[in-house]
Amino acid sequence: MTKEKMLEIVAKYGMQELLNDEITKEQVGWYIVSDGPIDELESLVECTDLVDIGFYVDRQYWEAGKRYYRMFAPKTWL
């Protein structure tokens, strides 16, 4: 997957910047909290070959069925 495709996904779902450090404001990726599954992000979570997609996506389950997706990208892609 390319940087451009990753940025399309970020824009498509309105993902917010994920900051590593509140003082330096260093960005490490993006996140979104959703009320249910987002199929496109779910498929990226399930991908085990990071070479294929070029970045890392994970998911956490929160209360009331909410999902917290995080997308981490190489520093040169931010």
> Domain coordinates of the chain in residue numbers?
3-77
H helix or E strand, kind and range, residue 33: strand 26-34
Q: How far apart are CA 45 and CA 27, in angstroms?
A: 20
CA dihedral 16, 3, 11, 33 (to 10 degrees): -40
pLDDT of res. 51: 65
pTM greater than 0.85: no
Residue position matching structure tokens 């390319």: 2
Confidence of residue 65 (pLDDT cuts 50, 70, 90): confident
pLDDT, one tens digit per residue, over 24-56 is 778 889 999 999 999 999 998 988 676 667 788
Task: Provide the greatest CA pair distance for the chain.
Answer: 36
Which carries the bigger pLDDT value, residue 45 or residue 20? Answer: 45
